[in-house]
A = this chain, B = another copy of it.
Amino acid sequence: MNLEAIITAAYQKTKIQKGKGALADYIPELANIDPSKFGVHITTLNEGSFGIGDSEEKFSIQSISKVLSVCLAYSIEGEAIWKRVGVEPSGTAFNSLVQLESDNGIPRNPFVNAGAIVVADILYSVLENPKKDFLEFVRSISGNDTIDYSAKIAASEMDVGYRNAALCYFLKSFGNIKNEALDVLQFYFDMCSLEMSCKDLSRLFLFLANEGTRVLVPSQVLTKSQAKRINALMQTCGFYDESGEFAFEVGLPGKSGVGGGIIAVHPGHYAIAVWSPKLNKKGNSYKGVKFLEEFTTQSQFSIF
């Protein structure tokens, strides 16, 4: 099979489709992105790498950072983190407070906002310099020291992040936030403001296709068992209220962000990143999902 050919064909087929959906508009920085941007990059374990389109342009990875933060927390704290956040799909929109009320402040999983805020609190408690240390972690795995936060985006989110502030205080009312609510929130927004390219993303996530171990400079990020579990989590919970649909149509573990990025992992094979800013009604990249459906259909690559 020729990955380059399949990706190029799927890219071209998706590119010419009318771009449905809308840009995330709750902060100006995301609303001003050129909606025609479209990039794809794959990094494989044994067949090299390949990029097409705007694959080397940096964008705001937003919620994709939730996978990175939970990996760091998991590597430090181990299974203990699952006492403070669950592993079940949420069944409702990504920022709902309803389930928290019935579940006594334990978020359903680390990929809903509430869960990622709890993970931020865990990291805030154990890291010496949370913001600096997390960036170091990301840079070291990806091997790209130019990856950085966007202060502008982080500040914008803090300005309008009332619902996340509500979530954070609500979690604190259940005792599931140990630090100052607004400090944790700031750190959470910092992590979401990370900017990198599809190329960076696919390199960064390759360790999840490689049983938890970095490839270029071998070192263990997660144990084999932990890596499998994070993949399982992405499979069941990675796409908000469209996780089932994504598993059904694409068949790979993955995670999306409202910046229009998606990362998908085929354990034992590759990590692939897509970026197209317009979002479908569930908040996932419209063309990103379409491309991955086409790619997995044509490549007959799926975990199922």
Contacts and interface: CB of A to CB of B under 8 A. Distances in A.
Contact of A163 (B86, B162, B169, B243): B169
The secondary structure that dominates the A interface is: helix
A244 B163 contact: no
A253 B304 CA distance: 8
Size category, A interface: 35 or more
Nearest to A165: B169
A236 to B, nearest CB: 5
Contact of A170 (B86, B87, B162, B247): B162
A101 B102 CA distance: 13
A169 B166 contact: yes
Nearest to A224: B300
A216 to B, nearest CB: 22
A225 B177 CA distance: 44
A231 interface: yes
Interface string A217-233: 00000001101110111
A304 B172 contact: no
Nearest to A208: B304
Nearest to A265: B304
A233 to B, nearest CB: 6
Interface string A139-179: 00000000000000000000000110111111011000000
Interface string A61-86: 00000000000000000000000001
A248 B162 contact: no
A244 B167 contact: no
A48 B210 CA distance: 29
A259 interface: no
A40 to B, nearest CB: 22
Closest 9 CB pairs of A and B: A91-B91, A89-B89, A166-B170, A162-B173, A88-B244, A231-B304, A166-B169, A163-B173, A165-B169
